[in-house]
Structure formats: C-alpha cells, structure tokens
C-alpha cells in the first residue's frame, strides 16, 4: 500500500500546528528510534514532555477519526500518538525499517503492532529542497513530497528513508497504526471493495440488492479477517 490522503488537516488545524512548532524547542530525534534506526537518523523531534505536544497529537487524531479514506484503507485498531519531527539543512534519515512493536507513551504498558506507517506533511514543498520520503518496495523506489496538510500512508514492512534537506526546513507528523486486519493483502481487498461500495451507493439507493449484497460480503470478510 502507498496511499496519498489529501487535506487531512483543515487550514486552521494546520496553522495551529505550524504556530506551535515554530515556537518550540526541539530535541534529538534519536530519542524514539530503535537501535538500528538511531544510527541512521539525524533529525529533530518535538519532545514528548513539550507542554503542547498532547494538544497537537490529539488534533491529528481527531483529524484521522473523521477521515473516510484513512479509515477505509487502514481499518485502524490502535494508533500510536502522533510524533512531530523536523529536518533542517544537512539532516536526513538513511534507509531503515521501523520497529515491529512500539509502546504507547503513558499507557501503562500498552504496546502496538506497527502494521501501517503514516507521514503527515506540515510544510509546503516549495519551503524546502530535498527531504523526500523514499519508499523501497516491490514496485521499486518511489519519492514522496506532498502539500502541507496531506498525508502518505504505507506498509510499515518496507524499507524507507528521508533524503537530505539542502534548503529550508521540513516539518511533519508521523505515527504508526495497528490495523484490525493484520495482512496487508487482505486490507487491500477490503479497501478496494469498500471504495466500490461507496461508488455504487453514489448511484443507487442504499437498499438496492447490489449494494446490500456487497455490504454483506464486506462485513463477512471483516468477521473472518479482523483481529481484535
């Protein structure tokens, strides 16, 4: 999966994030990296104890909760509270793989299996050079650089990197999701089916036999594949 989710944040939400981050004192991004990732990582991160970190994380979570495309594609069970990072000139994150399991801060020991990764861009592409998110998967190498407020969603199983920034500063929120559906191939089937159901509902009544039949298939597949 490599999915572009446009306009996750409203203009006001994006402005609030940027205002807080512009005034923040940033910390070393290695704090939340695993042993291997820490050696490849050179960036800054909003500290978890920053007084407004919780506010921004909850802002992003609310935006995810109302986003139909994200919920259809990911089928989320748990989301690790969003983190916020910054790449200034010369900073990068060399190719790495994310940890399979991550703790949820201040949760009393809850851990999340990382099925899906998301990067929510908070600076416009013209504000910086470099800084592309690079995905290495079976389709080859793909570079991603999206408008502020847009998000890229991809399977956590793939290698990825962030290219060195050569001008300006790249800000983003990033987080991991445990899906109710563990297998990415099954999530893709459900996503395709759900999108076709939505398309059909735009042209037919909800009680049309074709609509009801596909909705029934969707939920029966969910019953087979969901892991709660």
Residues linked to residue 128 through DSSP beta bridges, in sequence order: 168
Quick one: pLDDT band at residue 41, thresholds 50, 70, 90?
A: confident
Domain boundaries, the chain: 2-179, 184-225
What's the mean per-residue pLDDT of the chain? Answer: 94
The Cα 141–Cα 138 span in angstroms is 8
Query: Is pLDDT of 136 > 80?
Result: yes
What are the binding residues for Fe cation?
96, 98, 160
Residue 33: predicted pLDDT: 64
Residue 35: predicted pLDDT: 63
Backbone angles phi, psi at 18, to 5 degrees: -65, -35
For residue 82, count CB atoms less than 10 angstroms from its CB and return exposed for 0-12, middle for 13-18, buried for 19 or more: buried
Residue 11 CB-half CA count within 13 A: 0
What are the binding residues for 2-oxoglutarate?
170
Residue 108: predicted pLDDT: 83
Residues above pLDDT 70, as percent of the chain: 97
Q: How many CB atoms lie within 10 A of CB 178?
A: 23
The pLDDT tens digits of the residues spanning 175-195 come to 999 999 999 999 999 999 999
The CATH fold of domain 2-179: Jelly Rolls (2.60.120)
Residue 77: predicted pLDDT: 97
Residue 138: predicted pLDDT: 85
The three state secondary structure string of 14-54 is HHHHHHHHHHCCCEEHHHHCCHHHHHHEECEECCCCCCCHH
What are the binding residues?
96, 98, 160, 170
Quick one: pLDDT band at residue 162, thresholds 50, 70, 90?
A: very high
The pLDDT tens digits of the residues spanning 45-59 come to 999 999 999 999 999
Residue 96 CB-half CA count within 13 A: 21
Mean local confidence (pLDDT), 223-228:
95
């Amino acid at each position: 999966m490599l999915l572009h989710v446009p306009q996750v944040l409203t203009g006001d939400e994006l402005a609030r994030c940027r205002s807080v981050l512009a005034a923040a004192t940033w910390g070393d991004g290695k704090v939340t990296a695993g042993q291997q990732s820490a050696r490849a990582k050179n960036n800054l991160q909003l500290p978890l104890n920053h007084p407004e970190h919780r506010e921004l994380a909850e802002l992003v979570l609310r935006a995810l909760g109302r986003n139909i495309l994200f919920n259809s594609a990911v089928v989320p069970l748990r989301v690790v509270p969003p983190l916020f990072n910054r790449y200034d000139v010369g900073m990068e994150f060399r190719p790495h793989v994310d940890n399979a399991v991550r703790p949820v801060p201040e949760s009393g020991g809850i851990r999340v299996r990382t099925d899906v990764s998301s990067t929510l861009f908070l600076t416009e592409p013209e504000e910086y050079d470099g800084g592309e998110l690079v995905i290495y998967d079976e389709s080859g190498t793909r570079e991603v650089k999206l408008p502020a407020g847009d998000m890229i969603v991809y399977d956590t199983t793939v290698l990825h990197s962030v290219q060195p920034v050569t001008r300006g500063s790249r800000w983003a929120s990033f987080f991991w999701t445990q899906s109710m559906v563990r297998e990415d191939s099954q999530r893709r089937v459900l996503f395709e089916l759900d999108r076709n159901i939505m398309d059909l509902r735009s042209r037919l009544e909800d009680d049309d036999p074709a609509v009801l039949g596909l909705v029934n298939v969707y939920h029966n597949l969910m019953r087979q594949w969901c892991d709660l």
